[in-house]
Structure 1
């Protein structure tokens, strides 16, 4: 009967004998007050009623956890000097990064739709870092293969600094310039994080290209670089065109030409600096300890 909103009260004698009790006559029913909650544990000033106070949203009469309100209001503000401000740009899991990499290599839909309004910097950063390291290793192997004589081979870490400056500069500086240009010409759909994500994931094709940068076959090097350029620039144009077309027709054409020209410059720089035995990043095109000789660019 307690489920019907009543308390059952039974009279029991001193010896605890119910044998003589007539349940029909001795049972009394009283109105129950189940709507009132028990006093909160450790609360000051007595218990709280279920209908008031900040604990109402918890549904159990208990106050919300301390972390429940930390992400809203004044506690949810992120400042430039806090790690939480930068952590929001890396808020992505491995499966999401892999799916975005797959969508960049085999595009079937607009990449901005794949991002689902959550562009990240995790994928672009590690993709650019991988390209830098492979270019350095490939360029070093290429120089080692082309070296002659029995002298020891000396690494030139200017290949590493050159690859870092080229890849990081192109991936993170060019999108900023493009974003500022779009905002200047009145594009309301321009988003800096999306530009970084497009250029970052667009570099994915350079990983397999950089893995063959040690090849001594000149024509094969040109073919690989041309394929990398074609796939990556097609990815950029396909996804940037809706954003660039938000400006007037003449401006969008100029911006498209600049995007292609800058990407072509990246491809040529990769070919000349890392796919050639006599890279200009080396000491005049020669290895340390070798006699002076003409630089072999290709």
Structure 2
């Protein structure tokens, strides 16, 4: 039996583990910690199967093609800003204030009926009120008792509505069938050159805006001044229409006839307004006085 040094046994010994042993023990300790945390969480929590919830995102309403006779069809023609309406009213009197291609870029692509409807309604009541004022001024020095004529409203409404709807419809048909095709596909050529029906309704509606101030000026009972306002309103309104439609009119086989018809109908409209609502011939005053004296006798 070998002798053992008791002094060495009582002293502390330093055992440095090998690198392989150190790495392996550290890895085992880390794995053990994660394993204990996972098992403890599994034992403490209650797990149940839940079906995944499908979150429905709000979808924008689809634009369906509505019928021509429904109200929903015309909603897009009233979706217009106030600035656009003001800009189109200015362009109907002063086209140089906007770009050269304003009709093709803004009106032809996005026509509206909001402005034309309000312009037509405003013009109807302006003519009715101004016409009665002119009638009152004409009969101030006469013995005949003056009365308000309510029939002017219906007559002015019929004339304006017929003009705003029938004349653009006739012009649209004339441009559609008289534009000469310059390419292989005749249908595509006519569709690109000819303005749409709604764009013509929009253009003609805005062209009547100049008659609103002119209707007020027609109350001035000076014959030559009234006729000057007739020529000015008809020329400005008709020239603006020709200016915007010039590219389509040039492609028509009847360019001169269409230009003459546009100016002619505007002149007839202005002349009809002035003669029927604002102008009274001088002979009518004497006729009314003579008839009243005969009835009294």
Closer, same or farther: CA 292–236 of 1 in aligned 2, 3 Å: farther
* Residue in structure 1 matched with residue 45 of structure 2 by the alignment: none
Task: State which of 92, 95, 104 in structure 1 corresponds to 2:80.
Answer: 92
Question: Per-residue CA shift, 1:138-165, capped at 9, x if unaligned?
Answer: 1100111111456643122222222112
Structure 2 contact 128–156 (Cα < 8 Å) conserved:
yes
Number of residues of Structure 1 aligned to a counterpart in Structure 2: 233
Shift of 1:122: 0.8
**1:144 lines up with 2:136 in the alignment:** yes
Q: CA contact under 8 A between 1:89 and 1:119: conserved in structure 2?
A: yes
The ranges of structure 1 where at least 4 consecutive aligned residues each deviate by more than 6 angstroms after the TM superposition are: 22-25
Is 1:180 the counterpart of 2:173? The answer is yes
- CA displacement 1:26-71 (0-9 Å, x = unmatched): 45799xxxxxxxxxxxxxx9425xxxxxxxxxxxx62132xx3532
Which of 192, 211, 222 is equivalent to 1:206?
Answer: 211
1: CA distance between counterparts of 2:56 and 2:284?
A: 71
Query: What is the TM-score normalised by the length of structure 2?
Result: 0.69
State the partner residue of 1:262.
265
Radius of gyration: which is bigger? 2
Residues 185 and 143 of structure 1: CA distance in aligned 2, closer, same or farther (over 3 Å) = same
| 2:61 alignment counterpart | 70
**Other-structure match for 1:292:** 291
- Which residues in structure 2 correspond to 1:142-291 (within 5 Å)? 142-147=134-139, 148-149=141-142, 152-186=145-179, 187-188=190-191, 189-248=194-253, 251-277=254-280
Give the Cα separation in 2 of the matches to 1:81 and 1:159.
30
Specify the alignment match of 1:36 in structure 2: none
Q: Unmatched 5+ residue regions in structure 1? A: 1-21, 31-44, 49-60, 294-298
**Within 2, Cα distance between the matches of 1:212 and 1:120?**
29
Using structure 1 for the length normalisation, give the TM-score: 0.69
Match of 1:37 in 2: none
Higher relative contact order (CA 8 A, sep 6+): 2
**How well do the aligned residues superpose, as a CA RMSD in angstroms?**
3.0
Task: Determine if contact 2:235/2:263 at 8 Å carries over to the other structure.
Answer: no
Bigger share in helix: 2
Contact map agreement 2:116 2:206 (CA 8 A) in 1: yes
1:79 Cα deviation after fit: 2.0
Between the aligned partners of 1:229 and 1:92, the Cα distance in structure 2 is: 28
| CA deviation string 1:193-217 (max 9, x = no partner) | 1111111111111111011121111
Find the residue that maps to 1:292 and give its secondary structure: helix
Provide the secondary structure at the position in 2 that maps to 1:211.
helix
| Contact in 1 for aligned 2:226/2:274 (Cα 8 Å) | yes
Structure 1 counterpart of 2:25: none
Separation of aligned partners in 2, 1:285 and 1:167: 26
Can you give the 5+ residue segments of structure 2 that lack an aligned partner in the other structure? 1-28, 39-49, 180-189, 293-297
Q: Which residue of the partner structure matches residue 93 of structure 2?
A: 105
